[in-house]
Amino acid sequence: MQTYTPLRILVLGHSFVWRLAQFTMEANLPCIAHNFHCAEPSEIQFYGIGGRTVTRLRQFDLSLVAQFKPNTITLEIGSNDLCDPRLNTNDLATNIFHLVQTLHFSYNVSHIIVSQVLPRRSPPRMIPSYNTRVSFYIHDQAFFYAMAFTLILGEIICFTIVIRRL
């Protein structure tokens, strides 16, 4: 007899996460639900902090992962990192990969979704090259993740959305 494991989903990252949580609670559309129309029983927790970077997520938010014990995590992370001109986009892809490894192997998260960093219609004033950095990151991420996740983890999902027009 197969036992059913309830979904425990954690949506984790920067300010987009709390905005998404608020939108799903306030949206009056049948296609939008705070529980993403997941089968019951399921528990979904949103945790997003404005300005959150991969380094700060590792530093401050892993205790939440340990406490909540999710079996699925959606990471919405990377865009604030790209606002640091000293950070190489390949290093960001590597940092996120190491975070995913930590979540999978140290916190037993079986499914990890890495959301795509999207370009912005209006890049930050201090980083006019932001959208170019996003393009480089998407390239680095797709190449790095395709090789590493497939060969090493197998359970990881990486959404890559390429926006052609801003």
- Tell me the CATH number at 108: 3.40.50.1110
Note down the domain range covering 65.
Answer: 7-158
Domains of the chain: total: 1
**Residue 137 counted as domain residue:** yes
Q: Does residue 126 lie within any of the structural domains?
A: yes
Q: Is the pLDDT of residue 163 over 60?
A: no
Asked if residue 139 has pLDDT above 90, the reply is no
* Comparison of pLDDT for 41 and 156, the residue scoring more: 41
What pLDDT is stored for residue 42 in this prediction?
79
- Does residue 97 have a pLDDT over 60? yes
State how far the Cα of 117 lies from the Cα of 66, in Å rounded to an integer. Answer: 25
CA dihedral 82, 86, 91, 93 (to 10 degrees): 0
Angstrom distance (rounded) from CA 25 to CA 98: 32
Most confident listed range (23-37, 95-109, 122-136): 95-109
